[in-house]
Amino acid sequence: MFAIERQNKIKEILFKEKRVDVSQLSEMFDVTEVTIRRDLDKLEQEGFLIKIYGGAVLNEDILQKNVLEEAESETPEDKKMIGSIAAQMIENGEAVFLGYGTTCLEIAKKIKDKKITVVTNDLAIALELKDSLGVKVIVTGGDLVPSTSMLVGRFAHQALYGIYINKAFIGVKGVNFDSGYTLDRYEEAMFIQEVAKISKEIIIVADHTKFYKTAFAKLGDLTMAKKIITNKEIPSEFKSFFFEHAVKLYTTYEFE
C-alpha cells in the first residue's frame, strides 16, 4: 500500500471514529509505528488531525475550513460558464442526475426550460427547479449533512433502486493523478459511486482550482468519466492525460 493510500484510509477511520491509535494502525497496515507517526505528522500538517499521546484525534474544524478556503478561491463566472456547457449536453426527454455543489447548481439554473427528469441529492438544486414546469424533480431523501443542503445515507441509496440515468453530472473537490477524483465526505463518495452504477454517462464538472488537490474521500480514478467540463486554466499536464486516455475535455474558451 502506498503512503497516500494509507493516509486516506487513516482519514476515513478518523472521520468515523474521531480518533486513532498508533499501535493499532501499525498492526492494521503491517508497518512500523515510526511509519504511522510520519503519516500522522503529514496529516497534522494538512490540518486534518491533532496528535495526542499514542495517537491522534480528528480536527473537527477541517471540513468547515476547506469549505471556506474553496469559497474564497473560486470564480463564480467560471462556474456559470461550466453550467452553460453542461446544459447544452442535456436533451429533452432525458433523466439526469445533478450532484451536490455550486457548480451543479449553476447547471440547474440553465435547464429550467427543458423537459427532463432531474434526480438530485441537493435540496438547493431541488428548490432552484421548483417552478420549472417541464422539469420533473426527484429528491433522493436521506440524512441531511449539517450546514449543507446535501442528502446522504441509506435512504438516499434506496432512492436509486430501479431507476436509470442518462447523464450524471458530478462536482468534485479534488482532481489529482495519485488520488483521482475526491470529495469532502466519505458518505457522499459512497453515494455517488452508486449513482455511477445506474448512469449511462458520467460527466465531471470542476473548475481549475480543484486540480492538484486531494480531498478526504476517493470517488474514483481519473478515467472513471469519459467527459469532464472545466475552464481554460486547467493545467497542461491534465490536458495531456485526458487526451491520452480518451477523456473528452470541454473548456470555457468558446464562452468568452
Interatomic CA distance for residues 87 and 232, integer angstroms: 18
Domain edges within the chain: 3-61, 74-255
Q: Give the pLDDT of residue 58.
A: 85
C-alpha cell at 256: 468568452
Cα-trace Rg, the chain:
19
Interatomic CA distance for residues 101 and 173, integer angstroms: 10
Q: Give the pLDDT of residue 72.
A: 45
Amino acid type, 13: I
Name the CATH topology of 74-255: Rossmann fold (3.40.50)
- Using the CB atoms, write b or e for 143-158: b if 16+ within 10 Å: eebeebbbbbbeebbe
Per-residue pLDDT of the chain (256 residues; tens, 9 = 90+): 678 888 888 988 887 778 899 999 999 999 999 999 999 999 888 888 899 999 999 886 655 555 445 444 444 788 889 999 999 999 999 999 999 999 999 999 999 999 999 999 999 999 999 999 999 999 999 999 888 899 999 999 999 999 999 999 999 999 999 999 999 999 999 999 999 999 999 999 999 989 999 999 999 999 999 999 998 889 999 999 999 999 999 997 644 4
Q: Give the pLDDT of residue 253.
A: 60
Contact between 108 and 125 (Cβ < 8 Å): yes
Q: Count CB-CB contacts under 10 A for residue 164.
A: 9
The correct CATH number of 3-61 out of 1.10.10.10, 3.40.190.10, 1.10.240.10, 3.90.1170.50 is 1.10.10.10
Q: Does this chain's domain 3-61 share its CATH topology with 74-255? A: no
Q: Which residues contact 150 (CB under 8 A, 6 or more apart)?
A: 100, 121, 122, 123, 144, 185, 188
Spatial CA neighbour of 202 closest among 179, 178, 215, 219:
219
